[in-house]
Structure 1
Amino acid sequence: MNGRRLWAIMQKEIRQLRRDRITLAMIMVMPILQLVLFGYAINLNLRGLDAAIADQAQTSGSRALVMDMLATGVIRPVTSARTPEEVVDLIRRGRINVGVVIPPDFEARKLDGRPVAQVLVDGSDATVAGAAAQLAQTPVDSRLPDAHAPYVSTPSVPRIVVTSFYNPERRSAINIVPGLIGVILTMTMVLFTAIAIVRERERGNMELLIATPLTSTELMLGKVVPYVLIGLVQTTVILALGRWLFDVPIRGSLLDVYFAALLLIASNLTLGLLISSRAQSQFQAMQMTFFIFLPSILLSGFMFPFSGMPRLAQWIAELLPLTHFLRLIRGIMLRNAGLLDLWGDALALVVFTAVMMAGAILRFRKRLD
């Protein structure tokens, strides 16, 4: 072992890292990113679940019960409903996570000991169902106020019924398998195309491609289309295995499932092309792919509940394709929702694809000049 030779190699490696700005940035940014995500954005204590209130009684007692539920902080009203059917439809379309229904005979039920309210929950997300179950502990006053004495509330045994839709058994596979479609497509599609242009450059094929009559758009689309078919094959395999091994239902249209998968595939492929046009080597392309993949996994709602994140983290998550795909695929497969019901998330994926494709084409032209 020669110390001088060892020191020379160490100096060479340090200087190479200093010249490789992307790798140096990954070394500094990745620990900070993980610390912020796990310490700040990831929160397993759900609060502020989107909810709708259908108070059919409209009495002082029913309004007091609603206020007590809101005071727990578990739910926050984002829309109103008049009937239980409207609440169920809002859950099916993904507009809300929880619905509270108070029947017209609330006061009579309160006196004779029957259930006085029903909490309807989107059970396709087990964490949401678990958080909403806390609402059943809201105390219910079973007495009428005395006209000649101050009113004193005496809580009785909770009589609020919680009904979980779409996954009453609370099986984790029902929630995870549809999300795995998005996770696998994100990991593979971005990585495949992230190294596409870089590989051509490293092998010396880029000069040959430049000499051909190919336009930048034709080259980019030619790189993307074969992987679209690969992505659809991956989707088919996951759907088949999910149905066979875990009995995961497909309650919505199978055509809508594939169309949603196609939207995510296009988004990820164009994102990979943009990375490929920026990276200098295949190793850099893989580093940048991992830099995108980690926030996608943590912030999209796949591993941790989306509703438990701070508003800033949710705004960042809205920029990630996986966030919108998870809403689409879970809505279609588990809640029998259609693409028209979830048009906002579908539109977000279309816009993301167009922006990434335009950026990749412009970046590629710039590098040819």
Structure 2
Amino acid sequence: MTSWRRLWAVVLKELRQLRRDRISMLLIVAIPVIDLLLFGYAINFNPRNLDAMIVDQANTATSRAAVMDMRATGIIEITGVGDSPAQAMEQLRRGRISAAIVLPPDYERRLIDGRPAVQVMVDGTDTVVQAAAVQLAQLPLEAVNGRRAQAPPAQIEVVSFYNPERRSAVSIVPGLIGIILTMTMTMFTAMALVRERERGNMELLIATPLSRAGLMIGKVLPYAVIGLVQTTLILVLGIWMFDVPLRGSLLDVYVASLLLILANLAMGLLISTRATTQFQAIQIAMFVFLPSILISGFMFPFAGMPDVVQWGAEVLPMTHFLRLVRGVMLRGATLAELWPGVLALLAFTVVTMTLAILRFRKRLD
């Protein structure tokens, strides 16, 4: 009987301690609720409204009707009109569109002859987007005499660029660079200041002849080197074991990785200024890490998410890095051509690092 009372006393003690830990209590409720909303509301394996360019070289009533039929499916959203397939290809390479619909000058003659009359060029760096584009090949086209074509699969041709074999490793390995860097960099620095505080070394750090900004930057620089080493390891193994192509500049890959590393280190420092224990720091870091996997476009198609979720995903560094690394490695684009993602990562790093420095100063006063 006495042992049961002692056991119950320990249970009550843990419950009271957990109740006083507001961050843990918040995460206990927030994590299952957010995961449920993400998987039930935001995750969709059927992408809709893919950004597409129309190249209608026929420019007839029949060709325009075919374009409207494809748009009515909801699979594509026309965001631009091009003059030539080369122009559409350039937009695909830059990541501005996910698909291009090309109708040749002899579109109506091809319909009559039963030859492929429409070419759908799709960015194959995302295999789920490829699968969505294939649905367009099942669309029956309106023939010249106003009737539907009898063999729709033969009339719309889907051409996948950058990953025609539809190998999952080609799209997954570049994204894994971002996932691993997000997990390790955020976790390491989230515990940086908390660890010093728990070990009683914070007073020694404060006494060093460095500004608080310099002190925090000095804490993260070693981890930046570790992040670049991890990037190298993933690149070597990905290219060697999975034959992942590197069509762009290797320097651009490292610059993009460094931008993500700095963004995650800044986020980790901001977490470190809020957490009081290393366990809390890990909890908050995981809270940030989960959305980076689920809504950045790494696991699930970005185009299939509701608008409000896409707006939230734009805040995540992983979303922009994924566009950069896939653009450079798989499409051969340059960082100059992908400048919106570069600016987004730089802005995130500056804002987050500033907030971390301000909070660090406040906690020392």
**Normalized against structure 2, the TM-score is what?**
0.98
Instruction: Tell me whether 1:355 sits opposite 2:351 in the alignment.
Output: yes
Deviations 1:5-35 (A, max 9, x none): 2221121111101110000111111110110
Q: Is the 8 A contact 1:328 1:339 kept in 2?
A: yes
User: 1:241 — aligned with what?
Assistant: 237
Q: Within 2, Cα distance between the matches of 1:154 and 1:181?
A: 47
Answer yes or no: is the 8 Å Cα contact 2:313–2:319 preserved in 1: yes
1:309 aligns with 2:305: yes
Could you tell me whether the CA contact under 8 Å between 2:263 and 2:349 is conserved in 1?
A: yes
- The answer for the alignment partner of 1:333 in structure 2 is 329
Q: Following superposition of structure 1 onto structure 2, how do residues 4-43 of structure 1 map, counting pairs within 5 Å? A: 4-43=5-44
Alpha-carbon contact 1:141-1:156 (below 8 Å) kept: no
The equivalent of 2:106 in structure 1 is 105
Task: Report the identity percentage.
Answer: 63
Aligned-partner Cα distance in 2 for 1:189–1:3: 44
Local SS of the residue matching 1:118: strand
Task: State the partner residue of 2:272.
Answer: 276
- Counterpart check, 1:56 vs 2:47: no
Aligned to 2:256: 260
Counterpart check, 1:153 vs 2:147: yes
1:368 aligns with 2:340: no
Q: Deviations over 1:148-204 (max 9, x none)?
A: xxxx52332121111000001000000000000000000000000000000100000
Q: Which amino acid aligns with 2:148?
A: T
What SS does the corresponding residue of 1:169 show, helix, strand or coil?
A: coil
Structure 2 Cα separation of the partners of residues 9 and 224 of structure 1: 39
1:201 aligns with 2:202: no
* 1:213 shift after superposition: 1.9
Deviation at 1:124, TM superposition (A): 1.0
Aligned equivalents of 2:119, 2:334: Cα separation in 1: 26
Tell me the distance in 1 between the aligned counterparts of 2:220 and 2:81. 44
Deviation at 1:126, TM superposition (A): 0.6
User: Are the equivalent residues in 2 in contact too, given 1:53–1:81 (CA < 8 A)?
Assistant: yes
Q: Is 2:109 the partner of 1:137?
A: no
Structure-2 residue corresponding to 1:218: 214
Question: 1:47·1:74 contact (CA, 8 Å) conserved in 2?
Answer: yes
Distance in 2, Cα, partners of 1:304 & 1:141: 34
- Is residue 3 from structure 1 mapped to residue 4 from structure 2 by the alignment? yes
Deviation beyond 4 Å, 4+ runs, structure 1: none
Is the CA contact (8 Å cut-off) linking 2:65 and 2:142 kept in structure 1? no
1:65 corresponds to 2:66: yes
The separation in 2 between residues aligned to 1:99 and 1:67, in whole angstroms, is 14
Unaligned runs of 5+ in 1: 146-151
- Give per-residue Cα distances to partners, 1:267-321, cap 9 Å, x unaligned: 0000000000110010000000000000110000111110110101100100000
- Provide the secondary structure at the position in 2 that maps to 1:77: strand
Number of equivalenced pairs: 362
- Pairwise CA distance, 1:210: 1.5
CA distance in 1, matches of 2:68, 2:142: 13
User: How far did residue 227 of structure 1 move?
Assistant: 0.7
Normalised by the length of structure 1, the TM-score is 0.97
Displacement after TM superposition at 1:359 (Å): 0.5
Is the CA contact (8 Å cut-off) linking 2:187 and 2:285 kept in structure 1? yes
CA distance in 2, matches of 1:317, 1:208: 39
Instruction: Tell me the secondary structure at the aligned position of residue 210 of structure 2.
Output: coil
2:133 maps to a residue whose letter is: A
SS where residue 158 of structure 2 aligns? strand
Displacement of 1:141 in angstroms is 2.9
Give me the whole-angstrom Cα distance separating, in 1, the residues matched to 2:315 and 2:100. 28
Letter in 2 for 1:85: A
CA distance in 2, matches of 1:109, 1:17: 71
Q: What is the deviation of 1:137?
A: 1.1
Equivalent position of 2:79 in the other structure: 78
Unpaired runs of 5+ residues, structure 2, are: none
Q: Report the residue type matching 1:238 in the other structure.
A: I
3-state SS of the aligned residue for 2:53? strand
Aligned residue identity for 1:171: R
